[in-house]
Amino acid sequence: MHDPDRLRLSFVTSGTPQANAAADALRARYGDTASEHADVIVALGGDGLMLQTLHSAMARDTPVYGMNFGSVGFMMNGYEPDTLRQRIASAKPTHIYPLAMSVLDARGATHEALALNEVSLFRSSYQAAKIEILVDGEPRLDELVCDGVLVATPAGSTAYNLSAHGPILPINSPLLALTPISPFRPRRWRGAILSNHAAVTFRIREGEKRPVSAVADNVEFRNIREVHVREDRDKRVTLLFDPGTSLEERVLLEQFRY
């Protein structure tokens, strides 16, 4: 990391009065640089803001240091305005590689998006979705009848994936979690753990009768027919954590909660 006194910081907030007031005080104290020229982006909010900030910072891989002003803050550090530059200079980096999602919709149009947490498919009507699953081009599940299914990164494995009873993955593991959402058939299928080199394809059956949407983090496409998901190692984001509070440690601790 750079000399603490020379760090150029850019501040973003979730827009709450508390976060905005803190950002104003920090800008007056430490200055404020446009994000495209900053050494570090400081995000004041919760995990939703962190996810948005990481997406915007991905093209330049500008490190992001978060301070919690949200409800959960799993990806954030505690708020402490003093010695901010020194804290950032001593922070430990965690790298996350996104999932690349390619979607074919009912009109034959293709769409692409990136996901840092997960790519999810959801039924869009009262009827369950019917989805065929292929891994590296090989059919692995002929028909999953379900509310949906998702592919999660290690960073996203503690988010919606965990709520859907998927496995927690160590943050630096070369793995992906493939997890069904309320599966009806096969009733006992609980998903799979895949290599991060795996290419996953979802084919929608009876799409007109049983419409399905696909979501990459917060980007949604409706009435889809096929979805391809793979990890994109050409892109990454960098989170900064105070020593002893790394994302790796937080993911480990999450596995011992009861």
Q: Which one is catalytic: 47, 105, 142, 242?
A: 47
53 annotated to a ligand binding site? no
Beta strands in the chain (DSSP E): 9-13, 40-45, 64-68, 92-96, 99-105, 110-115, 118-123, 129-135, 138-146, 148-152, 175-181, 192-195, 200-205, 212-216, 219-221, 224-231, 237-241
Residue 32, marked binder: no
DSSP 185: B
47 flagged as catalytic? yes
Give the CA dihedral 30, 32, 38, 43, nearest 10 degrees: 80
How far apart are the C-alpha atoms of 114 and 103, rounded to whole Å?
11
What are 185's two structure tokens?
Answer: 């058939």
Is 248 within any annotated ligand binding site?
no
Q: Is 172 annotated as a binding residue?
A: no
Q: Is 77 annotated as a binding residue?
A: no
Q: Is 43 helix (H, G, I), strand (E, B) or coil?
A: strand
Annotated binding residue 173: no
Angstrom distance (rounded) from CA 92 to CA 240: 5
Q: What is the C-alpha separation between 218 and 230, in angstroms, rounded?
A: 17
Residue 45 CA to residue 20 CA, distance in Å, equals 9
Please check if 118 is assigned to a binding site.
yes
* The amino acid at 60: R
CA distance 194 to 8: 39
Residue 48 assigned to a binding site: yes
Ligand-binding annotation for 114, yes or no, is no
Residues 33 and 43: their CA atoms lie apart, in Å, by 13
147 known member of a binding site = yes
- Known binding residues for NAD(+) are 47-48, 117-118, 147, 155, 158-163
Catalytic residues: 47
